[in-house]
Amino acid sequence: MNQSGPSILVAACGNVMASDDAFGPLVARELRLRAPAGIEVADLDIRPAALLDFLPGKDSLILVDAVNAPGQQTGELLDIDWFSPDRPNLINDDTMSTHGLSLAMQLDLAKQLELLPQRVRLIAVCIDPVRVGEAASEYLPKAVLDAVDLVIKHTTLWSTQTPEQQHA
Amino acid sequence: MSDSKKNNGNTRTIRVGALARVEGEGALHLVMNGDQVEKVHLEIYEPPRFYEAFLRGRDFREVPDITARICGICPVAYQMGSCHSLEKAMGVFDDLTPEIHGLRDLLYCGEWIESHVLHMFMLHLPDFLGYESAISMAEDHGDTVKQALRIKKFGNTLMDTVAGRSVHPVNVCVGGFYKAPDPQAMKSLLPELEVCLDLMCKLTLFLAENITYPDLVRDYEFVCLNPDEGYPMNLGGLISNKGLNVSQEEFGKAIEEIHVEHSTALQSIIKGRGEYLVGPLARLNLKSEGLHPRAKELLPKVCKLIGQDLPWCNNFLSLPARGIEVVHALAISADIIRNYQLPKISRVPITPRAGWGAHGTEAPRGVCWHEYETEADGSIKSAHIVPPTSQNQITIESDLRELARLLVDVTDEEAALRCEHLIRNYDPCISCSVHFLKFSRDWQGGRSKSLARIAGGA
């Protein structure tokens, strides 16, 4: 943990046995090799309900997941402020989770409990519906590397800024 | 979100947006004829999981890691079922040391704590207190939610410490553990554990004192493990309150799995009798004498506050039953950790062989039973898994049938909420998918006057 900079969490979700839904865990695996010091990487796998456990004390969060987003091209990488009004509609928040208490619900609950980080970004790849046991699409490896670059870009910038500066 | 339309003069179909606070995907379809329930179908859309097919031909050592991915909430249950079964198939089950059994219990306690507390306080309690979700509940009960989250987090920490990670533990293997946990790391858990134990006792009393539980008493056949000593978790044969008493190996022949048209999940019955119930209510009713003294001490206080001694034949009481089980799991964990020393061996050696083994353990939501046949080289010849929710599914439908009779005078929206509440009694884990319930109710023979009046406002 970086003692002087912001406390940053990268939380990835997905199922490595379900085709392109492996996006999140693959990004987490790569980040463990390349992430700057002080960044906590949590692979929530198919238990995104564990997100709340990681939020206390964090002022910045990047969610990494695979999503179904109407109007977006399959394989497209989203890099958006979670709170932005321009955030595209996802088919359902629960498509970003697997276990009842979705990521979106947890962020709402975190806000209620005053645990919500000041900065929350979503880095997601748009995927088609997946089935357990299917192979990943050809676009996925590049999407993973691009996502890792984005995470490093944001976290490097944040490490030199306060959340207030980021929003200024 | 709901969508209501009249199909004809006497028939009305109402669809309610998917329910997110359970695991999986499915729908509930009720057909009413006047005040009578014609049909209750809990329809499960989940595509067949194919895990049993995935496993064929794989090395037996891979099975715990693969089966753990059947569920993100109860991976330990799938690991424990597969490990014990394969140890029987390999002929080493009797070689497992008390230390390995103790560590397995400890790991399982972590899962019970995490899974139960998540379900109780984030998913189920809002129903009882009249909130739409944990988010709105937290506005009025923020401290309760924070305390629950603290206990849930401890469950995850416990699994991390014993098994390397809380989500899909990586330290579990057929024969024991790849590496025994560090005693110092284990002992460091005790201060937080003690705090969580005290909090959980208070929260369980809160649940007993502040909730009026819906009254739906039924004549269940409760089924759970029957260990020689202690509370059901990893070991023992299987018993019921209606005469079932079989070994683990015999259980597969005592039940029958049937396929119904409206569900892609198999449903289980006890041969010659029918539906049965697995889970916390079964465990508590049949084996309360095996509870840890801290939980045993709490039980009569809870019974008094609820106004109901055991056996509890109302599955809405699964909420306080889970509370008592979390207290038990925390107290057992403290005992195991206090006595923990680095074991001489963390796993027993295994020489692959052709064999067969069957074993079920107590997942948070009930018995999860596995059976495997192996080839001489240790590869899997066949795999068969009977998860708890498929065992409970017919019982859930019967509960719904009983409840639906009582709901003829309420709106479809209210009826859907009450049915969802009932289904959550079972903490169903139908798939690692997204939505669970879409509700529809058809009135084939006309509706009761009172309901027609309510709906007739339009």
List Cα–Cα distances, B369 to B227, B253, B283, B288, B387, in angstroms.
Answer: 15, 12, 15, 22, 6
From B135, which residue of chain A is nearest by alpha-carbon distance?
Answer: A109
Q: Check B434 against A52: CB less than 8 A apart.
A: no
Q: Is A133 in the B-facing interface, judged by CB distances under 8 Å?
A: yes
pLDDT at B7 over 80: no
pLDDT at B313 over 50: yes
Residue A1 confidence (pLDDT): 40
- What is the ipTM for the molecules in this complex? 0.85
Chain B (294-333) residues lying within 8 Å, Cβ to Cβ, of chain A: none
Return d(Cα A15, Cα A23) in angstroms, integer.
Answer: 8
Residue A58 confidence (pLDDT): 94
Distance in Å, alpha carbon of B443 to nearest chain A alpha carbon: 30
Distance in Å, alpha carbon of B138 to nearest chain A alpha carbon: 7
Residue A167 confidence (pLDDT): 52
**Averaged pLDDT for residues B187-196:** 98
Size of interface A-B (CB pairs under 8 A): 88
Q: What are phi and psi of B422, to 5 degrees?
A: -60, -45
Of residues A119, A147, A148, the one with CA closest to residue A58:
A119
**Averaged pLDDT for residues B77-96:** 97
Residue B166 confidence (pLDDT): 75
Q: Is B138 in the A-facing interface, judged by CB distances under 8 Å?
A: yes
Predicted confidence (pLDDT) per residue in B340-367, tens digit:
999 999 999 999 999 999 999 999 999 9
Return d(Cα B60, Cα B379) in angstroms, integer.
Answer: 5
Q: How many C-beta atoms lie closer than 10 Å to residue A16's C-beta?
A: 18
What would the two tokens of residue A61 be? 């969060």
The domains of chain B, with CATH numbers, are 2-47+408-455 (no CATH), 83-338 (1.10.645.10)
Q: Domain limits of chain A?
A: 8-167
**Averaged pLDDT for residues B179-194:** 98
Residue B97 confidence (pLDDT): 98
**Averaged pLDDT for residues A6-11:** 90
Q: Reduce the DSSP state of residue B198 to 3 states and report it.
A: helix
Q: Check A94 against B152: CB less than 8 A apart.
A: no
Packing angle, helices B142-163 and B318-338, rounded to 10: 40
Return d(Cα B421, Cα B413) in angstroms, integer.
Answer: 12
Chain B residues closer than 8 Å to A92 by CB = 18, 434-435
Q: Check A45 against B139: CB less than 8 A apart.
A: no
- Let me know: does B58 contact A84? Beta carbons within 8 Å: no
From A47, which residue of chain B is nearest by alpha-carbon distance?
Answer: B72
Give B113: exposed, middle or buried? Use CB within 10 Å, 0-12, 13-18, 19+.
buried
The most confident of the ranges A43-47, A158-162, B432-436 is A43-47
Q: Which of A45, A95, A108 is closest, CB to CB, to B168?
A: A45
Query: A17-31, B304-318, B354-368: which range is least confident on average?
Result: A17-31
What would the two tokens of residue A18 be? 């379900």
From B114, which residue of chain A is nearest by alpha-carbon distance?
Answer: A50
Q: Which amino acid is located at B374 in the chain?
A: T
Q: Check A105 against B133: CB less than 8 A apart.
A: yes
List Cα–Cα distances, B167 to A13, B357, B404, in angstroms.
Answer: 11, 26, 38
Return d(Cα A14, Cα A21) in angstroms, integer.
Answer: 5
Q: Is A152 in the B-facing interface, judged by CB distances under 8 Å?
A: no
Q: Check A133 against B167: CB less than 8 A apart.
A: no
Q: Is B17 in the A-facing interface, judged by CB distances under 8 Å?
A: no
From A107, which residue of chain B is nearest by alpha-carbon distance?
Answer: B135
- Rounding to the nearest 10 degrees, give the CA dihedral for residues B263, B365, B107, B284: -160
Q: Which of B71, B167, B434 is closest, CB to CB, to A50?
A: B167
Query: What are residue A10's DSSP bridge partners?
Result: A41, A62
**Averaged pLDDT for residues A55-83:** 87
Query: A62-76, B170-184, B187-201, B377-391: which range is least confident on average?
Result: A62-76
List Cα–Cα distances, B410 to A134, B138, B430, in angstroms.
Answer: 45, 28, 28
Give, in words, the CATH class of A8-167. Answer: alpha beta
Q: Check B72 against A99: CB less than 8 A apart.
A: yes
| More confidently predicted of B425 and B452 | B425
Query: B13-22, B292-301, B319-328: which range is least confident on average?
Result: B13-22
List Cα–Cα distances, B183 to B177, B179, B347, in angstroms.
Answer: 15, 12, 17
Provide the pLDDT confidence category of residue A166 given band limits of 50, 70 and 90. low
Chain A residues closer than 8 Å to B23 by CB = 99-100
| Residues present in chain A in total | 168
Q: Which of A43, A95, A132 is closest, CB to CB, to B434?
A: A95
Chain B (43-62) residues lying within 8 Å, Cβ to Cβ, of chain A: 47, 49-51, 54
Distance in Å, alpha carbon of B136 to nearest chain A alpha carbon: 8
Residue B324 confidence (pLDDT): 98
Distance in Å, alpha carbon of B328 to nearest chain A alpha carbon: 22
Q: Check B149 against A113: CB less than 8 A apart.
A: yes
What would the two tokens of residue A77 be? 């990488």
Q: Check B142 against A112: CB less than 8 A apart.
A: yes
Sequence-ordered alpha helix ranges (H) in A5-159: 23-34, 51-54, 103-112, 140-159
Q: Check A100 against B133: CB less than 8 A apart.
A: no
**Averaged pLDDT for residues B283-292:** 98
Peptide bond into B181 cis (omega under 30): no
Residue B148 confidence (pLDDT): 97
pLDDT at B13 over 50: no
pLDDT at B449 over 70: no
- Let me know: does B198 contact B262? Beta carbons within 8 Å: no
Predicted confidence (pLDDT) per residue in B315-327, tens digit:
999 999 999 999 9
Return d(Cα B261, Cα A96) in angstroms, integer.
Answer: 30
Predicted confidence (pLDDT) per residue in A71-129, tens digit:
778 899 989 898 887 776 654 444 443 345 778 888 889 999 999 999 999 999 988 87
Instruction: Please name the helix (run of DSSP H) or strand (run of DSSP E) that holds residue B251, with its range, or none.
Output: helix B248-254
Q: What angle do CA B294, B295, B299 make, to 5 degrees?
A: 125
Return d(Cα B311, Cα B281) in angstroms, integer.
Answer: 9
What would the two tokens of residue B89 be? 């198939």
